[in-house]
Amino acid sequence: MKFIIKESVKKFIPWFLPLLLIVGWQLFSWVGVIPERILPAPTKVLQAGIELLSTGELSSHVGISLGRALAGFLIGGTIGFVFGLLNGMFKVSDLLFDTSIQMLRNIPHLALIPLVILWFGIGETSKIFLVALGVLFPIYINTYHGIRTVDKGLVEMGRAYGLKGRALFFAVILPGAMSSILVGVRFSLGVMWLTLIVSETISAHTGIGYMAMNAREFMQMDVIVLSILLYALFGKLSDMIARFLEGKLLQWNT
Amino acid sequence: MESNKEKYILISDIKKSYGERQVLKGLDLSIEKGEFVAIVGKSGCGKSTLLRLIAGLESNDEGSIYMNGEPLDHLNKYARIMFQDGRLLPWKRVIDNVCLGIPDTARVKATDALRQVGLDERMNDWPSKLSGGQKQRVALARALVHNPSLLLLDEPLGALDALTRIEMQDLIESLWKEKKFTSILVTHDVEEAVAIADRVILIEDGVISVNQPIRLPRPRQRTHPAFSMYVEEILEKILNRKKNKITLVKKSRKAQV
Ligand SMILES: Nc1ncnc2c1ncn2[C@@H]1O[C@H](COP(=O)(O)OP(=O)(O)O)[C@@H](O)[C@H]1O
Ligand SMILES: [Mg+2]
Segment B74-95, tens digit of pLDDT: 899 999 999 988 999 999 999 9
pLDDT attached to residue B246: 45
pLDDT attached to residue B83: 93
Q: A38 versus B50: which is more confidently predicted?
A: B50
**Global confidence as pTM:** 0.85
Q: Tens digits of per-residue pLDDT, A192-237?
A: 999 999 988 887 889 999 999 999 899 899 999 999 999 888 998 9
Which amino acid type is present at position A200? E
Average pLDDT over residues B22-41: 94
Q: Is B146 on the interface with A (CB under 8 A)?
A: yes
Q: Is A165 on the interface with B (CB under 8 A)?
A: no
pLDDT at B155 over 70: yes
Q: Which ligand is nearest to the CA of B50?
A: 1
- Site to probe by mutation for ligand 1, drawn from B48, B54, B154, B185 as the one with most ligand atoms within 8 Å of Cβ, is B48
**Minimal CA separation from B125 to chain A, in Å:** 9
For residue A205, report the distance from its CA to the centre of ligand 2, in Å.
66
Q: Quick check: CB of B48 below 6 Å from ligand 1?
A: yes
Determine the residue among A151, A152, A157 to mutate to test chain B binding: the one whose Cβ has the most chain B Cβ atoms within 10 Å: A157
Q: Are A142 and A211 in contact (CB under 8 A)?
A: no
CA distance A35 to A239: 33
Question: What number of helices (H) and strands (E) belong to chain B?
Answer: 9, 10
Structural domains of chain B sorted by starting position, each given as residue range(s) with its CATH number in brackets = 2-78+151-256 (3.40.50.300), 79-147 (no CATH)
Percent share of chain A, pLDDT over 90: 72
**Minimal CA separation from A152 to chain B, in Å:** 10
> Quick one: CATH architecture of A43-253?
Orthogonal Bundle (1.10)
Average pLDDT over residues A86-100: 93
Banded pLDDT at B113 (limits 50, 70, 90): very high
* C-alpha separations of B175 from A107, B114, B147, B182, B245 in Å: 62, 13, 11, 11, 38
ipTM given for this complex: 0.85
CB-based burial label for A20 (10 Å; 0-12, 13-18, 19+): exposed
Give the H or E element holding residue A10.
helix A7-31
* C-alpha separations of B235 from B102, B213, B229 in Å: 41, 15, 10
Q: Which residues of B37-49 are buried (b: 16+ CB within 10 A; e: fewer)?
A: bbbbbeeebbbbb
pLDDT at B2 over 50: no
pLDDT at A127 over 90: yes
CA distance A148 to A160: 20
Q: Which ligand is nearest to the CA of B25?
A: 1
B75 and A162 in contact by Cβ < 8 A? Answer: yes
Q: Tens digits of per-residue pLDDT, B182-191?
A: 999 999 899 9
Measured from the Cβ of residue A85, the count of other Cβ atoms closer than 10 Å reads: 21
Banded pLDDT at B73 (limits 50, 70, 90): confident
Q: Are B199 and B38 in contact (CB under 8 A)?
A: yes
pLDDT at A51 over 50: yes
Q: Tens digits of per-residue pLDDT, A60-90?
A: 999 999 999 999 999 999 999 999 999 999 9
pLDDT attached to residue A205: 87
Average pLDDT over residues A161-188: 94
Query: Which residues does chain B have within 8 Å of residue A251's beta carbon, measured at their own beta carbons?
Result: 126
Q: Is B78 on the interface with A (CB under 8 A)?
A: no
For residue A219, report the distance from its CA to the centre of ligand 2, in Å.
74
